[in-house]
Amino acid sequence: MSGTSGISGTRPEAPLIDAEEDLAPAPPVAAARRRLRAHPVLVLLGIVLASLNMRAALAGVSPLVSEIGDHFHLAATASSLVTTIPLVFMGLGSIAAPRLARRWGTETVLCGALVLLCGGILLRIAPPVVALFVGCAVVGTSIALLNVLMPGLIKRDFPEKAAGMTALYSTAMILGATVSAASAVPLENALGGWQGSLASWALLAAVAAVVWIPQAVIARRGTHHGEAAATPAHTTEDGPKLTRSPLAWQVTLFMGSQSLIAYVMIAWMPTIFTDHGMSKATAGLIFAFSTLVQMAGSFVVPMLAGRMRRQRLLAVAVTTLMACGIVGLLVAPVAGAWVWAVLLGIGQGGALGLALTMMVLRSGDAHTAARLSGMAQTWGYLLAAAGPLVLGAVHQATHGWTVPIVLLLAVCAGLVMLGLGAGRDRRIGAEA
């Protein structure tokens, strides 16, 4: 799952960090948002529906990769682009999100992202193979906008309930991915093919977009044509230079490396099972279960991290869980599949929660944390995009999963080293 999260750290009330942290709304927009907060049920429903969409369109592809590849006569490397392309555009889209929010407002951009997501999902099933890849790019871009803007909207509209609302949003996001993965093969059987299974999730995106339309309209009411919804509260020169900070790069690469492992599992975990003789339906169910179990790690680990001065042991612990699950895929992929699913799920959820926590704990102020969040999401997703593609190419070249899985273990070793660095009790700008 990728987005940001509100975490209680060693400093009181550590903030949720997102692209809107440094934007001051125009007066008509601020007044409109106060009116929206008078109807919290509409806002709450919009948050839940948007969150359900944030991973469903990606997770539902994984159990169907073989069918998609066979339909278009794609080799393993080309098939991995179905997962790789969205990740690339999730990174690139993170750069655009703050600019779009400043110009049009968070509500309008979120509504537009859901409409874009609906179109991207449908475009993936169009006949030419180029439509599949363009649709993947559109899906990745729309999810990037949701990732970056949703947490800040939660903090802004529910300031006294940010922790509970963040838990709700995170749970809905994982639930959407779980249901999508578990239902992919049954929907394929019921709707006559993988196209129907993928297209079905456009309906959920469309419903969410409809709920966001009145919020987008209300939030822009009173603004003049061409007037920006917000203005920057800080200049880009404020704060430490992140690209010159080793600690900032350690946090960024920790985010990217754990995302790489997670998206390799999204792309190839069901295929690893089916290549060893497991049925498609069972492989999809186990993958969905692993996704569901991530909620445990993503809930517990940030709570522990916020109560520690150093998070190095947590980084080692969550990485070890993932490594044990990966070793299991190497030695007994089918016999111990449910066990490996639990280990990977808890480890992945914990690693994501820890990465998001460290964005706050390693920053000296909210402005630095906002910039670090953008840096980590952009470069993190671009790094993660290499995982499914490279491992798919290695699988195709070696005609097996042994070498790709060993490469994943090497990534785990690097993740431990990055966690030991990023988990130190240091702040960006005061690292000496």
Mean pLDDT of 314-337: 96
Has residue 429 got a pLDDT over 70? yes
Residue 12 has a pLDDT of 33
Residue 214's pLDDT band (boundaries 50, 70, 90)? Answer: confident
The mean pLDDT of 91-95, rounded to a whole number, is: 85
Question: Cα(114)–Cα(165) distance, rounded to whole angstroms?
Answer: 20
Q: Is 47:158 a contact under the CB 8 Å cutoff?
A: no
Q: What is the rounded distance in angstroms from the CA atom of residue 118 to the CA atom of residue 108?
A: 16
Asked whether 264 and 387 are in contact (CB, 8 A), the reply is: yes
User: Hey, which of 25-39, 69-83, 234-248, 392-406 has the most confident mean pLDDT?
Assistant: 392-406
CA 135 to chain centroid, in Å, comes to: 18
More confident: 197 or 229: 197
Q: Is the overall model pTM greater than 0.75, yes or no?
A: yes
Amino acid at 62: S
